[in-house]
Copies of this chain bind each other. A is one copy, B any other.
């Protein structure tokens, strides 16, 4: 997110001076504050954020996806993780101290604050940007050391950011039943049924993808994510929708939302300006009955959460919208399948083109990524990329979050392994696929590692497991073959994928980290992406998006039912990179069946689109292995 151009540090002395001035300025609060916390993120706790919300980047120069800055009267410190130590050091000037998270000697934000602050200090934070659960932890730690955490309503970075970009307000797109399968009215009804079941009277939605999913609307406010800035509060008889009202003037949009002629009174949407969610929620809370309960995600902003009196607040780790969105319906599954076929067409073309062009020495990481985007954009209902393409060759492949920049751009050759992790948004679905290829002759070690990764990929993809199994219980299947040879990869194995929505979504996933993942259910869609990274040499990752489907094994213990995965991604896995002797017969059968399906399904589409060269490439790359 956010174009990072050069790696020279941002000069921040004057900015920090102004910020410290603001920290003492009584315009913003009754007493000066001694420290100010600047988290990453926006008021919706989005993973990707809009330029107007890149406050931590603005004040420090550091534009990695994760980081928290804290500025005191004397210090300015930045906490980030191992992916970004080098980058943060390059982008920040001497005013900043880098706090390397994950190292033993690095203090936590709380401990550091307690060690540097004078007694009885006040620490400020924008309550819209900090999640309720983070606020709680910080509040406790500071309180027990005699300090206090205070909510500063006006953001102090905005106060020293004269040319801060406007909050985006892109055109909204409504999706019909042919794309969504369920009307927003039916989604509201389902939501209310879940609320009644748990005796909940109000629900506050703050996550942008949940709101987009609920109303069958999409926007383009945040790069790569087809969402728009909004809030929603649903009661048993009312629906309040908070959004820039200009966006609702289009007659088709008004019709979609039935703004002028609601079918039933309880499905009438009341619209409000985006900014009025706070006062409106206050008004709702002022009128709550003694038994009224309000659902809000425990990761929602502290600002909105604290509007709800504690006795009425029912925080939940995952909202019913998050859970409903995760289980795709038949229409969404059909759309995702179509999107993946189109995506495979583009990738087959890309790989056929690379095979031809690389020997000429004119293809770079950036031009390959651009070519991939160009080919995807020719496909029906293409909207944009679903994340910045990771196009990496040789040693760059070992940098897990690598993104080619003009100053790092490397030429693809027949001597190095090429890893491309890319995806797109189509109106019918979202894709995310990684393939690792060699366009010359891979070394025995490269093939060996690739084959272990493939074995792990297959072990997850072909696993049969009981209904209700949590994804984290499958993570070790992806690693067993690597472990057996003393190898491993230091990232999770899979994440939830939205349907023309965010490429990363909860509440399910496959990871060794025990987070509160929800059980896998038929209809959920996750990625399966084990890897291996040899620092300074090459990177390997094999990623398919897979659909959770019912399995029908021989027995059915306690009638629990079983599940397995069906690959949605249909792009050949390079046989040249495999050491097929290391594969079991079952694994070879899996590869052959997968390639048969790629050839059948994607081949038909390539033929229909008249893309002959890519079709020939596909046929060559899907020969049987024995």
List B contacts of A484 (CB < 8 A): 464, 553
A554 contacts the other chain (CB 8 A): yes
Q: Judge whether A474 and B473 touch: CB under 8 Å.
A: no
A370 → chain B, closest Cβ, in Å? Answer: 34
A60 contacts the other chain (CB 8 A): no
| CB-CB nearest in chain B for A532 | B557
A458 → chain B, closest Cβ, in Å? Answer: 13
Q: Judge whether B463 and A562 touch: CB under 8 Å.
A: no
Assuming A473-B475, A473-B512, A514-B514, is B488 touching A466 (CB within 8 A)? yes
A487 contacts the other chain (CB 8 A): yes
List B contacts of A560 (CB < 8 A): 488
A278 contacts the other chain (CB 8 A): no
Of B474, B485, B562, B584, the contact of A476 (CB 8 Å cutoff)? B474
List B contacts of A514 (CB < 8 A): 472, 514
Q: Which 5 A-B pairs have the closest CB atoms?
A: A486-B553, A486-B555, A514-B514, A487-B557, A473-B476
A540 → chain B, closest Cβ, in Å? Answer: 13
For chain A residues 543-563, which have a beta carbon within 8 Å of chain B?
Answer: 551, 553-557, 560, 562
Most buried by B among A463, A464, A474, A487: A487
Considering the chains assembled together, what is the distance between the CA atoms of A551 and B556 in angstroms?
Answer: 37
A112 contacts the other chain (CB 8 A): no
Considering the chains assembled together, what is the distance between the CA atoms of A282 and B562 in angstroms?
Answer: 56
16 extra A-B contacts, CB within 8 A, seeds A463-B480, A464-B483, A584-B584: A463-B483, A464-B484, A465-B483, A466-B488, A472-B514, A473-B475, A473-B476, A477-B480, A483-B553, A485-B554, A485-B555, A486-B553, A486-B557, A486-B562, A487-B555, A488-B560
| CB-CB nearest in chain B for A310 | B144
Q: Judge whether B483 and A466 touch: CB under 8 Å.
A: yes
Most buried by B among A472, A486, A584: A486
Considering the chains assembled together, what is the distance between the CA atoms of A288 and B512 in angstroms?
Answer: 42
Considering the chains assembled together, what is the distance between the CA atoms of A602 and B474 in angstroms?
Answer: 37
| CB-CB nearest in chain B for A563 | B483
List B contacts of A554 (CB < 8 A): 485-486
Most buried by B among A464, A487, A553, A557: A557
Assuming A464-B483, A483-B463, A483-B465, is B553 touching A488 (CB within 8 A)? no
A556 → chain B, closest Cβ, in Å? Answer: 5
Considering the chains assembled together, what is the distance between the CA atoms of A463 and B480 in angstroms?
Answer: 8
A478 → chain B, closest Cβ, in Å? Answer: 11
Considering the chains assembled together, what is the distance between the CA atoms of A464 and B466 in angstroms?
Answer: 25
List B contacts of A473 (CB < 8 A): 475-476, 512
List B contacts of A480 (CB < 8 A): 463, 477
| CB-CB nearest in chain B for A555 | B486
A453 → chain B, closest Cβ, in Å? Answer: 13
| CB-CB nearest in chain B for A484 | B464
What are 15 A-B pairs at a CB distance below 8 A?
Answer: A463-B480, A463-B483, A466-B488, A472-B514, A473-B476, A476-B477, A483-B562, A484-B553, A486-B553, A486-B556, A486-B557, A486-B562, A487-B555, A488-B557, A488-B560
